[in-house]
Chains A and B, each alone.
Chain A
Amino acid sequence: GESVGLHLPTLSVQEGDNSIINCAYSNSASDYFIWYKQESGKGPQFIIDIRSNMDKRQGQRVTVLLNKTVKHLSLQIAATQPGDSAVYFCAEINTGGFKTIFGAGTRLFVKA
């Protein structure tokens, strides 16, 4: 199957620290990107998105950065909390292709 690659499969951070999760995407025609969070026993849930005409977008405690030159996406979580422990997926969408391609996922562990 097709997938978007990730640089780090697991990430362990101390509670209160900032987390950075990275992702490399493959299709330069992708025009929309989303980060999803998947908790145990649940389906992935939307965290934040960014269009290809932007390079940064901020939400509540989360920031997504997009570097189209090197086809790189990152998710920054400020003041990481135990509830942030989950698997995080980046996803790229070519809105004309009717499919969303997901990365392999990064598991985030938050140490109390």
Chain B
Amino acid sequence: KAGVTQTPRYLIKTRGQQVTLSCSPISGHRSVSWYQQTPGQGLQFLFEYFSETQRNKGNFPGRFSGRQFSNSRSEMNVSTLELGDSALYLCASSLEGGELFFGEGSRLTVL
């Protein structure tokens, strides 16, 4: 069974731009969660989607948004990028309430 796939793996943007990251979950997993990981920090919860509905959201500004499609694939978007948005963005899928299966992440650098 294929794992969680995230694209792109690496990207560089400049301040003020926007970015869209994509995540394809493991087949059969309907829950997708997004996390931001910065150097020296833990994993900060962004949001969780299940069957196209956002069920929970972390403490991030409105510039961070996401969505989930009917095939469970998910995207997250960050608008008006700031230097502090440079991070590894991790997507994880799961059967409801269980272990998270992570992708390898999308590393975003904002210049």
Interface residues of A in 55-87 (CB under 8 A from B): none
Chain A interface main SS type = strand
Chain B interface main SS type = strand
Interface residues of B in 35-81 (CB under 8 A from A): 35-36, 41-45, 48, 50, 55-56, 58-60
Q: Are B97 and A95 closer than 8 Å at their CB atoms?
A: yes
Q: Are A101 and B56 closer than 8 Å at their CB atoms?
A: no
What is the distance, in angstroms, from A104's C-beta to the closest C-beta of chain B? 4
Interface residues of B in 75-111 (CB under 8 A from A): 90, 92, 97, 99-105
A3-B42 contact given A34-B99, A49-B99, A93-B97, CB 8 Å threshold: yes
B33 proximal to A (CB < 8 A): yes
Q: Are A98 and B56 closer than 8 Å at their CB atoms?
A: yes
Q: How many chain A residues touch the partner (CB < 8 A)?
A: 27
The closest CB in chain A to the CB of B3 belongs to: A43
In the bound complex, residues from chain A placing their C-beta under 8 Å from that of B33 are 99-100
What is the distance, in angstroms, from B92's C-beta to the closest C-beta of chain A? 7
Q: Are B56 and A105 closer than 8 Å at their CB atoms?
A: no
A52 proximal to B (CB < 8 A): no
B21 proximal to A (CB < 8 A): no
Report the bound CA distance from A32 to B35 in whole Å: 19
Q: Are A2 and B43 closer than 8 Å at their CB atoms?
A: no
Q: Are A32 and B97 closer than 8 Å at their CB atoms?
A: yes
Binding site for A on B (CB under 8 A): 4, 31, 33, 35-36, 41-45, 48, 50, 55-56, 58-60, 90, 92, 97, 99-105
Binding site for B on A (CB under 8 A): 1-4, 32, 34, 36, 41-46, 49, 89, 91, 93, 95, 97-105
